[in-house]
Amino acid sequence: MNRIMPPAEGPAGRKNGLKDAKSRLKDELLDGGREAMKQRLKDLLRGRLGSADSTGGWYPLSHGQEALWFLWRLAPGAAAYNMALPVGVRGPLDIAALRRALQALHERHPCLRTEFREENGQTRQRAAADHRLALVPVDAAGWSEDRLREAVTAEARRPFDLEASAAARVALWRNGPEEHTLLLVVHHIVGDLWSLVVLMDELRAVYAAERDGRPWSLPALSLRHEDYVRWERRTADGETGERQARYWQERMAGELPLLDLPLDRPRPPMQSFRGATVARRLDAPLTCALEGLARSSGASLYMVLMAAYMVLLHRFSGQDDLVVGSPTAGRGQPGLPDLFGDFVNMVPLRADLSGNPAFADVLAQVRDGVLGALNNGDLPFSLLVERLQPARDLSRSPLFQTTFVLQKFQRYEELQRVLLAFPDEPAVPFADLQLVPWPLFAQQDGQFDLNLEMKKDEAGRLAGAWKYAADLFEPTTVERMADCFETLLRQIVADPTTPVDELSLLSPEEAAHTIAGGLGRTVPPPPEPSILALFESQIARRGDAVAVACGADSVTYAELGRRVDAVARGLVARGMEKETLAAVMMPRGIDFVTALLAVTRAGGAFLPVDPRTPFPRTVRMLEASGAPLVLTTGALKGAMERALADIPAGRRPVAAGFDELAASAAAAVLPAPSGGADLAYVMYTSGSTGQPKGVMVEHRGMVNHVLAKLEDLGFGAEDCLAQNAPQSFDVVVWQCLAPLAVGGRVAVIPDDLAENPAALIAEVARSGVSALQIVPAMMRAVIEEADLHDCGPPDLGRLRWMVPTGEALPADLCRRWLDLYPAIPILNTYGSTECSDDQCHYRMDRLLPADAVLPVVTIGTPVRNMTCHVLDRTLSPVPPGVVGELYIGGIGVGRGYRGDPARTAAGFIPDPFSAAPGARLYKTRDMARRRADGLIDFLGRVDHMIKLRGQRIEPGEIEVALCRHPSVAQASVQARPHPSGERRLVAYLVLSGPAPETEELRRFLAGLLPQSMVPDHFRAIDAMPLTANGKLDDKRLPAPDWQAAAKPFVAPRGPVEETVAAIWAEVLGLERLGIEEDYFALGGDSIRSIQIAARCRRAGLTVNPHDLFQHRTVAALADMAAARGATPPAEPAGSGDALRITAEQLMRAVELVRFDD
Amino acid sequence: MGQEASNWQDGRVRVVMNDEGQYALWPADRPIPAGWRDTGKAGGRDECLGHISDVWQDMRPLSIR
């Protein structure tokens, strides 16, 4: 709810072609004005003007003021609605004259001395009589610039107590005889930016007269604020209001989007309003070109900039449906332009950028939207919000989360240099003095995620102040957005017909820089083209060392080499040659490792198959792969042969027993060693369409990945790697073979131990494993197992690396691991099977603050000889912070999908960023963004991302929050269809304690997450269904039972619920309501929450307005109030005199504090 | 960026080939990267992929055939 910006050229400023709308509007306003004048005459006749009337001068708040009052009650300590005008005053300032002039204006403008009173949930206001303005200069001689800025900032941000003091104040610092600093601070509830211009314009005239001892006069004010409030209420309640409401309901129909810009920090559950500003100027030629584009498009400069701003938001958020707020002056009636008061109104402008429209089309949409807003801008924003009933969420502002304005001052135009001060602004004349701008002074804190406030300066340059929520963004991120905006504008003026998704966000230099940031380290490949060759070179050095161990069995390097050769000869005798694919369907163990190496030795490629996979599925896979040979054990061979009989004879693979081959002593000649470009292995991965894909990996990619792993783990001859992954998981390859490249040891952990956390821990310690790779679900099980040990975490022997794999890694898991085992760092890994296992590594010795920003840990940076680019829909790099699709290039990019040229050609595309001609780039279908520090965040699959109400929801974030609940062991959040047709969030829980009530879980989550992320339905299940690889099998989660989740009528239980329910019913105008019904579903809103809170307090219950947002049912609110205990009865509202005294005491107190500085 | 909604492969693409005889899709309106050449086939994604399925029978890179 920002309402500070003046009208300028908002929807109120328009050009030719808009005359009709303009004259219509004018008539309306004149009508309104006439109405107001008539009413005022009537009032005069009734003698009801002046402070002596029956109401004591008290009158209601305007709708805008009511909203601001609510926000003030919500966060009385926030400075979000303080408008501050700090300015250096150069010249012989006559302080007494300034004081007299300020006092005179104080008397002229009642809003400067308005007092507020809340009674029975109704807020009223009146102008205090005899209010004296305090202006006591603070001696600031010799102060450093920093000290002065600090003092001014503190004074500017000091919250107003609207119930106790006036909502405007002035401060003056005396820096030297002819150097002063003046600060005006006004709470937005009594004035807008236009008001400050009025005040300063009048002040310069009155000051000059007072200084000279001349009499002065200002034109009489023909309207009072009170008249405006009456007019506004009449208009809103009348036919005009009804017509305008209908217009907005139509414009804002359907699901309203929540702006989803990439954030640097997690969104706090409640807005804090802390703001900061980034300033940018556009050069005069660009400004001129933009004006030219506006002229030739029959639009205004404001519309062109608004459309471009929407394109920027579209590109950064990925959202097509955008709503941007824009202020209108609200001062159309005669008399209003001269008043000090809050009249500005916000209107939402909406555009649809789906389908990659041309910029010119977006501009046309914006132009129509502005015209419509112009005709319908009288409806107060707060009424609009009430009408539209957007979903309430205390972490966001309603309707829109960003605003755009192009400032243009109607009078005292030079003052813009002070009110929206950019660096190097010239001073502004003020009587015989000069006002020196305070550049980039944060005029107010951020009420929105992002605001863009622009103006055109005297040099004909557009200047933009990017005001942002400091809770959410780093300054560099906003600076980058501002740079991108300029890049967009330059392309737009060059060709406004360019489709918006094809506009680049980066200049060619920035794009090249971004691409360079996606390159892993370049390391020359080793002379050995395969892991087999690396293993063979270790045989000579470490022939007697153990190469592979499994339980009590082990094999040395020399022995393993002999067995590999023997089996390889057997394979060659069976017809294996270069590129022949052999399925290896054997239990994991020494023989399995031997088989993989033997296939390579015989020149072929292996396809690992888990013998536990149901045979029919294996047979289908074998048939699809075209493998002519299945290497298996003697025990499995017969059954396999029977299963293979389903395949037609010509294509049927031959099954061969491993022992048989090893013992055959075939005399076959082994082929020349495989080269780097030869096929190493094929892995079948599940495709999104359900049809498995056979991924082909070449030796050079496999070698590069293995060496990257060994290097990043510092893994050497003394180390031991656990081989615990099943054959169907691509990590099985490096687990089986990597240690053999450096003389290390493979410890095969059999399935029964690998799948049992306690047994796995024991086996890791027993077999001296130095690196363990497990999926996050197993990591959690291991941590929970370790937590059960009373006397400290169990001994893990020589373990020195935890290597999570397979899915996004929750940060809380890392924190728990590193708490338990601070000496065992984590290597987070990310990769596509298509590009030879992993392509990104991230080492974590402890959890840094940056690691906890997202609920899942970064995947780090590309490994050696690999590249990772985050690209937009047109294959252009996106700036840091912007979400795009991850594309992978480098030596590890595999050959493609076996027997599937179409999928291969779609997924493996030319690498336009590679120095190697003909290189390919893999399209991962994973969403990612590169952070400003270069690390990559994995944000889920393109196809698994949950999007609700246009908002990207990371289920992981909700899951992590749920797991913090003491009764929740595991959680999975899914978007599932609701009978209403829309998707809702469903949380599946595995409980470890007493089953919590749904309401308790909601309340618990509401403390951790924005409302939009609190699931609608919770369902406890016995265990998470897992796939063969230990990943969640979400298709096997039960369907939610919506019927059971619906809220039946539940009558109040006990006196507290009865009281709360009665108050709700009264305020909401309902006959009865169930204690489980949602406040907002019942029609509650922010204004009514004040009334409810006031009545609850009178009934002795401690309830604040914002409690209604977090405890949204009678039951929850009553619970909360009961837990909080009784409150002392509300104090009787103070009389006007009491208020005045308090205000003056406060002023004095402030001055004392200032002198103490 | 909502790739599920729109993507360069939803627009007009062309079929390109590198020196290893590997086929790929590439946006029709973008310059073809070094080491790749136009095969002359262009159109919608599915049409181009269908064409590739027909012509790319031996998926082994040329250098190892």
The residues of chain A that CATH labels 3.30.300.30 are: 945-1038
pLDDT band, residue A944 (cuts 50/70/90): low
B51 at A interface, C-beta within 8 A: no
Phi, then psi, of A983 in degrees rounded to 5: -85, 145
3-state helix, strand, coil in chain B (%, to 5): 25, 30, 45
- Local confidence band at A688 (pLDDT 50, 70, 90 cut-offs): very low
Q: Does residue B64 lie within any of the structural domains? A: no
- CATH 3.30.559.30: which residues of chain A? 277-333+340-502
| Maximum Cα interatomic distance, chain A, rounded to a whole number of Å | 122
Give pLDDT, residue A48. 33
CATH of domain A277-333+340-502: 3.30.559.30
Residues in chain A within 8 Å Cβ distance of B9: 906
Q: Do the Cβ atoms of A953 and A1013 come closer than 8 Å?
A: yes
The pLDDT-based confidence of A1068 (bands split at 50, 70, 90) is confident
Q: How confident is residue A70, by pLDDT bands cut at 50, 70 and 90?
A: confident
Average pLDDT over residues A1120-1139: 50
pLDDT of residue A595: 98
DSSP states of A1006-1062 as a string?
HTTS-GGGS-SEEEE-SS--B-TTSSB-GGGSPPP-HHHHS-------HHHHHHHHH
Q: Which CATH superfamily is domain A39-227 in?
A: Chloramphenicol acetyltransferase-like domain (3.30.559.10)
Residues of B with Cβ-Cβ distance to A695 under 8 angstroms: none
CB contact under 8 A, A318 and B19: no
Residue B25 is assigned to a structural domain of this protein? yes
Report residue A254 as tokens: 């359907």
Q: Give alpha helix (H) positions in A543-633.
A: 557-573, 590-601, 615-625
DSSP B12: -
Determine, yes or no, domain membership for B2.
no
Which of B5, B8, B26 shows the shortest C-beta gap to A910?
Answer: B26
CATH number of the domain enclosing B36:
3.90.820.10
Q: Which residues contact A920 (CB under 8 A, 6 or more apart)?
A: A889, A893, A908, A909, A910, A911, B18, B22, B24
Residue A587: is its pLDDT beyond 70?
yes
Q: What is the mean pLDDT of residues B44-55?
A: 97
Q: Closest to A883 (Cβ–Cβ): which among B1, B4, B22?
A: B1
| Highest mean pLDDT, choosing among A34-48, A226-240, A540-554 | A540-554
Task: Average the pLDDT over each of A28-42, A136-150, A824-838 and give the range with the smallest value.
Answer: A28-42
Taking alpha carbons only, the member of A115, A16, A105 closest to residue A1136 is A115
pLDDT in tens, A907-934: 999 999 999 999 999 999 888 989 888 9
The residue behind tokens 């006439």 is A34
Say how far apart CA A466 and CA A442 lie, in whole Å. Answer: 11
Residue A4 has pLDDT above 70, yes or no: no
What is the pLDDT, as a whole number, of residue A856?
A: 82
- A578 touches B at CB < 8 Å: yes
Q: What is the mean pLDDT of chain A?
A: 85
Structural domain contains residue B51: yes
CA angle A680/A807/A718 to nearest 5° reads 60
Does residue A709 carry a pLDDT above 80? Answer: yes
What single letter denotes the amino acid at residue A1108?
L
Domain count, chain B: 1
pLDDT computed for residue A1051 by the predictor: 85
Indicate whether A213 pLDDT > 70.
yes
Q: Angle at which helices A359-375 and A19-45 pack, to 10 degrees?
A: 20
* Chain B residue at shortest CA distance from A929: B1
pLDDT band (50, 70, 90) for residue B39: very high
- Is residue B14 a part of any domain in this protein? yes
Query: Which residues in chain B touch residue A699, judged by CB atoms under 8 angstroms apart?
Result: none
Q: Decide if A901 and B59 are in contact by the 8 Å CB cutoff.
A: yes
Q: Which residue from A354, A579, A901 is facing B56, i.e. has the nearest CB?
A: A901
Of A355, A677, A878, the CB nearest to B64: A677
pLDDT at site A208? 96
> Do residues A186 and A130 make contact, with C-beta atoms less than 8 angstroms apart?
no
**Which of the four pLDDT bands, split at 50, 70 and 90, describes residue A1012?**
low
Please answer whether residues A738 and A531 qualify as being in contact, where contact means their C-beta atoms are separated by less than 8 angstroms: yes
User: Across the A/B interface, how many CB contacts are shorter than 8 Å?
Assistant: 111
Window 943-962 of A: residues touching B by CB (8 A cutoff) are: 943, 945, 947
Give ipTM to 2 decimals: 0.96
CA A1151 distance to own-chain centroid: 42
For chain A, what is the radius of gyration of the CA atoms? 36
Q: What share of chain A is helix, strand, coil (3-state, %, to 5)?
A: 40, 20, 40
Residue B54 belongs to domain spanning:
8-59
Is residue B47 in some structural domain?
yes
What pLDDT score does A1131 carry? Answer: 34
How large is the average pLDDT for residues B24-36? 95
Q: Please, which residues have CB within 8 angstroms of residue A557's CB and are 6 or more apart in sequence?
A: A535, A538, A539, A542, A543, A544, A545, A547, A740, A743
- Higher per-residue confidence, A8 vs A1004: A1004
- Residue B1: inside a domain: no
Residues of chain A in contact with residue B1, where contact means CB-CB under 8 angstroms, are 318, 872-873, 878, 882-885, 927
Domain A1054-1124 has CATH 1.20.120.1200: no
3-class state of residue A564 by DSSP: helix
Q: What is the mean pLDDT of residues A504-528?
A: 94
Structure tokens at A904: 């291969």
The answer to whether residue B3 is domain-embedded is no
User: What is the predicted pLDDT for the residue at A1027?
Assistant: 72
Q: Which of A453-467, A652-666, A978-992, A1051-1065 has the lowest mean pLDDT?
A: A978-992
Residue of A674, A904, A946 to mutate when probing chain B, most B C-beta within 10 A: A904
Which A residues, 302 through 341, put their C-beta within 8 Å of a C-beta on chain B?
318-320
State the pLDDT at residue B29: 87
Which range (A344-353, A361-370, A397-406, A956-965) has the least confidence?
Answer: A956-965
Q: What does the pLDDT read at residue A29? A: 40
Task: Choose the closest CB to A318 out of B2, B49, B56.
Answer: B2
What confidence category does residue A13 fall into, taking pLDDT thresholds of 50, 70 and 90?
A: very low
pLDDT attached to residue A1081: 63
CB atoms B1 and A873 under 8 Å: yes
The residues, ordered by sequence, that sit 6+ positions from A701 with a Cβ below 8 Å of its Cβ are A680, A835, A836, A891, A892, A893, A894
- Which residue of B16, B27, B59 is in closest CB contact with A895? B59
Half-sphere exposure in the Cβ direction for A550 (13 Å, CA): 19
Residues 6 or more apart in contact with residue B31 via CB below 8 angstroms: none
- Per residue in A1101-1110, pLDDT (tens digit) is 888 877 887 7
Q: How do residues A352-398 score in pLDDT, each as one tens digit?
A: 998 889 999 999 999 999 999 988 888 888 888 877 766 555 566 77
Q: Do A591 and A635 meet the contact criterion of CB atoms below 8 Å apart?
A: no
What would the 3-class secondary structure string for A830-886 be? ECCHHHCCCCEEEEECCCCHHHHCCCECCCEEECCCEEEEEECCCCCECCCCCCEEE
Stretch 495-554 of chain A: residues touching chain B, C-beta under 8 Å: 501
Contacts of B20 in chain A (CB under 8 A): 918
CATH code of A945-1038, in short, is 3.30.300.30
Q: Are A532 and A702 in contact (CB under 8 A)?
A: no
pLDDT at residue A582 is higher than 60? yes
pLDDT for A295 beyond 60: yes
pLDDT digits 0-9 by tens, A805-860: 877 888 889 999 999 999 999 999 999 999 999 999 999 999 887 777 677 899 99
B58 in contact with A, Cβ within 8 Å: no
Q: How far is CA B57 from the centre of its chain?
A: 15
- DSSP state at residue A612: T
What is the pLDDT at residue A1039?
85
